[in-house]
Amino acid sequence: MPAGKLARYVLLAALIGITVLTYLREQDRPHGTSPSSSPPSEHQADPSPRPSPIPAGSGFDYYVLALSWSPSYCAAEGPSANRQQCASGKSYGFIVHGLWPQYERGYPQDCDTSQPRDVPFARAKQLSDIMPSTGLVVHEWRKHGSCTGLSQDDYFTLIRKAVEQVSIPSAYRQPTQRPLVNPLVLEQAFVSANPGLTPDGIAVTCDRDYLREVRVCLTKDLNFRICPEVERASCRKRSVEMPGTQ
């Protein structure tokens, strides 16, 4: 075979080999990468949002989230009830009474703190959807928030996070008038609506006439936990009033 023709065959075979090798390398590359892609750096920022950390309190064992049935408070207090919460046209159901630091037995209150005792009005208003009374916000900060070791901002941030952890059963979200209720039925509804919550980690309280509060025990990381001392305060009546808004 002439030398020129042989050289052309060798060159053609080399080009075919290069093409095949390139194809095989492309098939080996992970889907979605390009030849210029570099492996993600371990220091590269994660584009997905991360939940903000839960403020860590200190000097106590756990929290109680107290959810008050607002129409019961308004009915019990009558003309002396807080107007921000109970004035005509207000339609609150369960609201936050407080987030209370607890010992396994007993609880701290009115603690010394480097934080201000007063709460700015603008800060209190930010909680108005879950704590409609600014006076209640100030009272809860002074009596309970001062004992958490947290700043005001962290304490109020934690209150909202705690509320988000507890699902109110759908049958009890609206402050409508209803027949007498069995506190145990309400407790069971909360347990069913909140996986991980057990009957020994919740208390439904009442007074002589009305169902008053649902108290849920939470760890400092806002997970459900048992709390025998709090549970012992559960209402023992078989039926109580759970009024609606006027």
Three-state DSSP string of 92-161: CCEEEEEEEEECCCCCCCCCCCCCCCCCCHHHHHCCCCCCCCHHHHHHHHHHCHHHCCCCHHHHHHHHHH
* Cα(237)–Cα(225) distance, integer angstroms: 24
Please give the sequence-ordered ranges of beta strands (E in DSSP) within the chain, or none if there are none. Answer: 62-69, 94-102, 202-206, 211-218
Amino acid occupying residue 50: R
| DSSP code, position 61 | S
Q: Residues with catalytic annotation?
A: 97, 140, 144
Torsion sign over Cα 8, 9, 14, 20: positive
